[in-house]
Structure 1
Amino acid sequence: MEQPAFYYLCLLLALLLPLLLLLKLLKNHDAAGGGGGVRLPPGPWRLPVIGSLHHLIGKPLVHRALTDLARRLDAPLMYLKLGEVPVVVATVVELLSARRVQSFRHVREDEVARLVADVAATPAGEAVNVSRRIAVLIADSAVRSMIGDRFTRRDEFLVSLEEGFKLVSGFNLGDLFPSSPFVGFVSGMARKAQANHRKSFELMDCAIKQHEEWRAKKEMEEDLVDVLLRVQKEGALDVPLTMGIIKAVILELFSAGSETSATTLQWAMAELMKHPEVMKKAQAELRGNLNGKPKVTEDDLAHMKYMKLVIKETLRLHLAAPLLLPREAGESCKILGYDVPKGTTIFVNAWAIERFECATIDFKGTDFEYIPFGAGRRICPGIMFAQSNIELTLAALLYHFDWELVDGLKPSELDMAEGTGLTVRKKNDLLLHPIIRVPPQSTQ
């Protein structure tokens, strides 16, 4: 009986597929340096086409999955193939200068005073969504530093920001198989990213317009948009500072200045609720030093050594961006004796870096055991900006209020699940009951 042509086609494919996969494996091996004397870092076993992706399936917290892989391999440097992308995992300018950050002190103190007053006005027995209150405070503080006033479309901006972080979280198919237009089309990520980009830039147009209107009505200190516009006018940079670049910089400052600081504060409050003895010690330090003052100022923070240790420990346990930001090797280089080919994506798993024991280790990027803000030339330029917001806000929340968990929860029962994303925030909002201990100064 004669077999249909479709049968022979299927048979041919079945015979050819293993050969094609073998050729793919050999090609990958040679490209990775298997036959060229290149010594790549160790890595877990890989499959054709998808590479190392199967090691991450079902593990949404990528920084933890990568840490587990590195421990099993006993490898401080690890080579992976995420689809087509080779990856190596290694476990300040005028705009954000110390003087510039200090000039925004009145903004931070004003926004924190408003937060304290709002929390103090919470009806008895009603819980406060601490996560939401912190996010709004940090966004308002960042925006006022940039455009001189609260952003009239702040809530819209926060929604757009959250959508943007979701789009860049994890590994999407379009990133892992960049040579395939079909994969990019099916994933739809490019279309979503473009829509989010258009929305973000439309919001930036609105922010700049609001800045211009505010500046025309009121005499005030130079804000960050003023600095960018002045630099653009002076034309002293090698690359012209276009309005498109200015919008991108403002958006970057909005995003980085809002999400990471808010995430750190949220985790700090959650960890303190889980460890009430630590919270009491931090509160005792604050209340003992301030001695009944109606308001916390930045001048008060210099002596709060224990509270600063709480922040350092929070950054150790809950880095806002545990894999920092990915980099691409511009040239082939050697790390720890291994070859890293040009074009390889580099992830630094800062969450897995050796924990500090010495009290002198700081997060300024010179102690490589502890780099929540990165290090080197591309260290986060907003360290001082973030540090100032985090310290003042946490001090005020601990000084003015005692806090209780909702629904009679015990500290050991507090949900500490991590969300997924480029930044790892608490998966569920932190809801707490405030109890006023030091009445705040009136903001009227």
Structure 2
Amino acid sequence: MKFPGQRKSKHYFPVHERDLLVSQSQISKKMSRTHIIGIDQTLVDIEAKVDSSVIDKFGLSKGHSLVIDDQAAEALYNELKDKELITNEYAGGTIGNTLHNYSVLADDKSVLLGVMSADIKIGSYGYRYLCNTSSRMDLNYLQGVEGAIGRCFTLITEDGERTFAISEGQMNQLRADSIPEKIFKKASALVLTAYLVRCKDGDPMPEATMQAIEYAKKYNVPVVLTLGTRFVIQDDPEYWRDFLKQHVSVVAMNEDEAEALTGEKDPLAASDKALDWVDLVLCTAGPVGLYMAGYTEDASKRETSLPLLPGCIAEFNRFEFSRPAVKEACDNPIKVYSHIAPYMGGPEKIKNTNGAGDAALSALLHDMAANKYHKENVPNSSKHQHTFLTYSSFSQVCKYRIEQAMRYWFSTHHAYLEVCLKEKIALKRLIGKDKKKRHLLALFYK
């Protein structure tokens, strides 16, 4: 387990002479391990550069997203493959991306539950999914299915317009009996998306999701839910409020989803309202930045040394140096809020932000896993006087999340990076003396 944040380390030589008692205790004690569990609608993102005739041939609407059946998806895939139009095939899905990023950040294990084609041919989309997934992700519990997993085609025409064609394939066929109870005993979190419980009638995915939630409750594993899209939420916001209250500890959303859920347009007010149902809220608000809201024990609150921020809640970040805690476990819980503005930099027009939100969520999961890992291996530490959700404070988690989101963004915008990687001197001239940009780029080069 790599702990979150940039941490200095000291080296002592010779190592075996540091402290004999400490050395003996470290040798005799077997370190406890932990992991993150996620359930996903496994799908592959297939990117291709095409001309408008392909869009017309398959009855798609240029610049829009349409659902297509398996037969049409297979025909489209074969056409793109035969004409060598495919530029990239990579693992997709919100939870899959999040677990992959977590395993890269923490250099630790995560477990993915979902489906995978039982018959995989070299070079196929299922093969690409496995190839592009971190080796630290445990895929041994995937359920085999006959047929294709989900596919999302991104068709880019000569004018730069993006057209999406989505085929669900067998991605919603995960059964409840494919959810193993044993993996929940040492888990740090169960990560879900709202799409999992909103499927077609007869699909077993919702039942499998609820089975996983029951196991998580049995072993006191926090359930983390990312809302996915406002359209799923606004159909029945009352259902989702009840769902959060009954099953979820942490909710992650953007400002549109937050408004659909709470009726509050202001992301800070929406985050505050969501605390009626969960212990911790993360709300991204585009150019405004990132908000966090949660609870902490009054006796352990810590006042910030940063400037107090205005908002619908005056000086809302006063105690942002406190650590998020489980409300029910607090003797005297108080609400705590934090905010961080986004780092600026990069090209004027961003064409693709796929995965940046997943990278930010993975940073929170990393902090939650680090907290459980430290608690189990150093149970008498002063950091565990109360039942905290994360290893770091609200403020630090905000900072860590925005760093990982931007780091992911830089790593996926190749045109800009081609300039950066050719000559660091030119890059330094480009960013000037802005300390935030220099800090971000230093992280990237590391």
Q: TM-score range by the shorter chain?
A: under 0.3
State TM-score, norm by structure 1.
0.21
Q: Which has the larger radius of gyration?
A: 1
Between Structure 1 and Structure 2, which shows a larger proportion of strand residues?
Answer: 2
